[in-house]
Amino acid sequence: MLGDKGLLENVTLKCAKAEALPFATHRFDLVLSVLSLHHLSDPVRGLREMCRVLAPKGKMIIADWKPVKSPVVPHAEKDIPSPQFLKQELGLLGFSAKVHQSRYWYVADLTR
């Protein structure tokens, strides 16, 4: 289906650990992480890698669960990086974050 529209010619799929991305520094204008940060074995290293591959004027958006006990959130509270953790770690890397929160999730819009 994608091949019929010529989209596959411009898409490359890679399987890699988020903590060691196989891409050049400053390669992407947009880095998007949706409901995956809490799955990383080392979230700090994963965030550093996302920052590394982001172009200097690029945009990073991270959406994830909030660490709350709820039947809606399918993970243990202790396994989920909080919005405060995200802001702190990315602040150390020179980013500022606008964080929008709901009851169960958050979205962080990050800029250098």
Phi and psi, residue 65, nearest 5°:
-70, 155
* pLDDT tens, residue by residue, 23-49: 999 999 999 999 999 999 999 999 999
* pLDDT tens, residue by residue, 54-86: 999 999 999 999 999 888 888 888 889 999 999
pTM for this predicted structure: 0.86
Q: How far apart are CA 13 and CA 101, in angstroms?
A: 31
Q: How far apart are CA 110 and CA 11, in angstroms?
A: 25
Is the pLDDT at 99 greater than 60, yes or no? yes
> Which tokens belong to 43?
């979230």
Amino acid present at 89: E
Residues 1-13, mean pLDDT to the nearest whole number:
66
Q: How many residues are present in the chain?
A: 112
Provide the pLDDT for residue 76. Answer: 87
